[in-house]
Every structure is written in structure tokens, then in C-alpha cells.
Amino acid sequence: MKVDAEVKSRVLELHKIINEHSYNYHSLDNPTIEDSEYDAFFNELLELETKYPSLSYSHSPTQRVGSEPLEGFNKVDHLTPMLSLENAFNTKDLEDFNKRILERLISQTEVNFSCEPKLDGIAVNLIYKKGYLYQATTRGDGKIGEDITHNIRTVSSIPLSFRESKIKAPSLIEIRGEVFIDTKDFKEINNKAKFNSEKIFANPRNAAAGSLRQLDPRVAASRPLKFFAHGMGSIDFGKGTSPKTQKEVFDSYASWGLPINPLAEQANDINECISYFKKIEGLRVQLPYEIDGVVFKVNSFKMQESLGQVSRAPRWAIARKFPAEVGSTKVKSITVQVGRVGSITPVAEFEPLNIGGVVVSHASIHNFDEIERLDVREGDTVQIKRAGDVIPQIIKVDLSKRKKDSHKVETPNTCPSCNSKLVKLESEAILRCNAGTNCPAQKTESIRHYVSRNALNIDGLGERIIELLVKKELISDFSDLYTLKKKDLLGLEGFAEKSASKLLTSIENSKETTLSRFIYALGIREVGEATALNLSLNFQYINKFLLASKEELIEINDIGPIAADHIFNYLSKKGNQNQIKKLLKLGIQLQEVKIQSDNLFSSKVVVITGSFNNIARSQLKEELIRSGARVSSTVSSRTDYLIAGEKPGSKLKKALDLGIEVLEEDNVLRILKQ
């Protein structure tokens, strides 16, 4: 059907009218028209789109209403990682954070900060292209999330397209923020669920997460989800000017129609940050939503770039957490848990206790020295706190309520899983079982680690299923996963044709992975994700890694003598070598680690100093390692090149004194691109 220009103009006008009033209502909490008027505009648009399907655009306000359910969630790589935040639990932690910043920013005596409440919601990443919502994903593991665009489109406070603004919209931008549910709305959701004999949610965060983790967007559309934007990932302004501060980002977001927490403020120094925290702490109980702390970020992006990041967290931001909430309950039992690498941890089970909206019933007591210090016993009444509002912890025993016939908890001599003798090293506070995978508990935990999200990422293999597979002797190590047959699974409780096929497909898909994920999945002591990446970049091939000497390991940046010992000892065991070779025979394919070896930096020792305009320090470091360089943190006579950015500091002077060649950013980037 041919569309009249006047009709098209009216449709676009209705977009503008409806979006403007939605912004006033949902973002500013300041409605300017009656609901009946809004409904009239909405229905008019709906009728025109029904009559003229070609005018039903993906960014239309009518597209917020849930569409048909999806079959599954697609994995999506974030353009830039969604990092975690370092935590501060007291004023001294904040002051130390400020001190570290000033030590790194040598020429600065004071730093401005952006301050905002830390919502207890679900982190999401929104991608807008040319001002239109293109994609939305969950945080996931920080590098890879799940596509939830179908659900995010239903959140009224998230614009499907930017408002007209004097501030030019970029051609592409990643907007980070938090999806949450107000406390009042959460209570209404649970009241309705109770009335309908449906499952109730433990807290607003779970309700928000449950809403976004739905394949059917009509569920999310029925929930009162809200959103505050708080950060930025990748941005492409073309020839335009990108924001230079966090404040400029917030100003841009507000002008484009994105909701910003109205309590966000600027602080001129760390003392103002401390005052801001006290203010928000006092307001906490009055707020319509749950928060678990306050986030402070260095305001200047140039300073952020100079500060860089550690493995999974930026050096320029910190979350000041509220003091943990405390509750009282009775200990039912104290049992022993065996960890993946043999650590023996006492765990207290107590009568369920609601702390800060979360029901807890277990707490780790770290080690048996801690049990002795607390003198906690079965049957005791204890005080529990959620450390950092997350991990339950016993802080005190109420001795006035202790029964006279109570008995001290005895430190075990043997492993509760395999009966091996336990050992305790002088350098450690914990007991260990050294039976390795001959211990059923360690076997189960090591397989759990191998299949976990950041390792081989095998969906559908939870603790219960792994324990069942081990108990039925269907698996005893990693390689057995790849010999499982459908008939093996169909004989187990909880498996049907579809679920068995799904698990086997997930196992098959895990065969293609990266060397760093594979090394991490092996579960070597002291080898986390960052160390696994370092190992993969340095050795490039699994066969070279298997032949690594202790000296080679110690030479790798960020790997100390203790970690090198654990890695070397792991590789020295014939059983571990055979396990890895068996996995490769069964079809594990490791993607090639691409490292250039025919350039200026190959086999050279390189030091980086200062800040850079066109590349993050962490990215530059990784690119150099991929080019065959060994990146060091200190300048010495062994240094081949110093790469100097802006404000290079004392390293530049030392390099010049030693006659070391100094390279500038533009030259380095040109060499890396060759």
C-alpha cells in the first residue's frame, strides 16, 4: 500500500510526542499530560502502524510491548569489557584508594570524583547506533554476555531512540547501567505471586534478574523494570568530540533521554567523597530502591587512562560498601568441605536467616584456627553478618545461650571424602588433602571448575549432575566428559531425550576454545584467568607450555616463584600430562594465539610509561606481548625500549640516563599495525 507523506509525517510526530511524554513520566517523574491523552496518542499510532505496516519501525514506542518468545539466548562479545569494582569497607580504604591514585598521577595534588549510589540491580550493556537502540546484553563474565534486547525494549525508561539534543549523538556507543525494581513494586509483585500460588522472589535484584532472563518478552513487559545509566564503554564520535569527563557523559545521557540517578554528584576531593557517602548512608532507608553502597570514579577520562586497570577492575574507581547487616541464629551443624585443590574448610549450617533481603543458611569459617578463635560449636547461638553484603560470616558466639553439654569441634586428621591424612604447611593456615583427583570430592570440584563459565563453559553441568555422574562412575576426569553417550544420560534421574541431547551438544561445542581458557580450566593452583592469559601469550602452543621449565615460568610477567612452583609441579606429573594429551586426542581444538615474531619488538624487553591518547595501557601491553615482547614494569640495563606517553614520570629520566631508546605512541602503533 502506497503511504501518503502526510501519514508518514504524522507517525514520526507521534513517535516524538509519545517519547517526550514517556521521558517526562519515567525519567523525570514529572508527567505533563493525563494518562487518557497519552493512551489516545498511543492508540492512534498503533492504528496507523496496523494500517501501514511499512511504517512500523523497530524503534517505535509500540515495540515495547512483548513480541513472540525466543528459543534461546545468544552469546555476545562486549566491545569493551565490563569490569568489576574494587571494594572499600571503611574510610581508611577510601583514603588509601586516593593515595594510590595520587602516587600514580605524579603531577596531581587533588583529583575530582564522580559519586553515585550503587544500585543493587542487574548490570546491562546497551549499544546505540546512530541514536537507535541496536542491542542489549547482560554483563555475563565481563567479556561475553547474553543478548536480552527483546526484554530491554520493554523497559519504559530506556529510550528506543535518542531525543533530539544540542549534543550530537555518536555513530556508536556502549552505555552501561543498572536495571532494577523499586521496593514498593517488588512487594506488589510478590503479593500478586502469593495470591496466584506462584513462586515469590527473595529480593528486588532477583526479581529484576528473573525478568531479564526470560525468553518470552511479555514477562519482562509485565514487570515494573527501571533503569539508570552510569557508565560508558566503546564510543565512536567520528569527527566529533568525545566526552572528556564522567560529568560530560552524564550531561550527554540526560540530553539524549537516558535516566541518570538524580543523587549523582561531583566531589572535589576524597574528603567530599567521604561526606557524600555519609549523606547517602543516611538517606538509604528513605530511597525507593535498594542500594548496597556508593561508587566513586575519577572524573577525568584522561586520568582514568593513565591509571589503567588491574586484572578485572579499574584503578580509577571503587565501591564503598555499607557496613554489613547482622542477624542472630542457631548453628545446626558444622561440617567439612573439600575444595578443588584439597583445601579443608569448615562450614556452619544454621537456621535460615534473612539478612538484607537475602535468606542465608550456611557460612564458611575459613579454617580450624578460626573455629578455635571463635570457639563456635554446634547448637550455639551466633551473630551472622554478610561481609560486603555478600558472604555470610560468623562474627560472634552468644556464650550466655550455650548449652552445658556442648562439645568443642575437633580438628580432623583425615579427609572426610577419601580418608587420606591431612597436612598443614607452615606457610598456610589451612589443612589440605594431597590425594588430588584420587579424592572424590576434589575430583567433583575440579570437574565443576573445568566446565564453569570462564573455563570450558559447558551449560547444564551443575554440581548435582557432576556428583551423579561421578557416583555412577560415568566420569572420573575431564576426558570422560567427551566419551559420554546419550544412553548413559537417559539412565539418570532428571534426564530426558531433549535435556540429554542439549548437554551433549554443549559438551561438543566446548571442544573449540582458546589456550588461555583451557589452561585456566585445568585448575592449576595459583592460575587464575589473568595468569592463564599470560601463559598462553608467552607459550602460544600447548606443547610448548607442557615443556615449560621453572626458570621460563618465573621470567613471565606477573608470575612469581610460588605460582611458578605450582605450575611446574603440575606439569611434572605424568598423569596430568597424559590427561591433557588425551583431551587433545578427543578433539579439543585450541585457537591459534596470533603473535607477530618479525617486528621490532620480537624477543625484546619493553617498559611502558605515561598515558596514551589512542590506546589503553592494558591493550598496548597485550599487543606488545602478542608481538613477541616481554613487557616489564621497571627500567633496567636489560630494557630494550621505553614506550613513553604523556606525563612519563621518572622512568623516562632513568631510560635516558641508561641510553635506552625511547619510542612515542604514534611510532609504536604504526609498528604494531605492520
Catalytic residues: 118
d(CA 469, CA 160): 47
**Burial environment of residue 550 by CB neighbours within 10 A (0 to 12, 13 to 18, 19 or more):** middle
The residues facing 513 across adjacent strands are: 590
Answer for the pair 110, 121: CB distance below 8 angstroms, yes or no. Answer: no
Helix (H, G, I), strand (E, B) or coil at 211: helix
Name, in order, each residue with C-beta under 8 angstroms of 17's C-beta and a sequence gap of 6 or more: 41
Name, in order, each residue with C-beta under 8 angstroms of 248's C-beta and a sequence gap of 6 or more: none
Helix (H, G, I), strand (E, B) or coil at 326: strand
Rounded CA Rg of the chain: 28
- The stretches of 311-389 forming alpha helices (DSSP H) are 368-374
CA atoms within 13 A on the CB side of 658: 18
Q: In this structure, how many other beta carbons lie within 10 angstroms of the beta carbon of residue 522?
A: 20
H-helix or E-strand spanning residue 466: helix 463-471
Answer for the pair 350, 392: CB distance below 8 angstroms, yes or no. Answer: no
Cell matching residue 670: 604504526
d(CA 16, CA 20): 6
Question: For the packed helices 440-451 and 463-471, what is the interaxial angle rounded to 10 degrees?
Answer: 130
Amino acid at 495: F
CA dist 359 to 199, 307, 328, 362, Å? 15, 39, 13, 10
Amino acid at 341: V
DSSP tag of 130: T
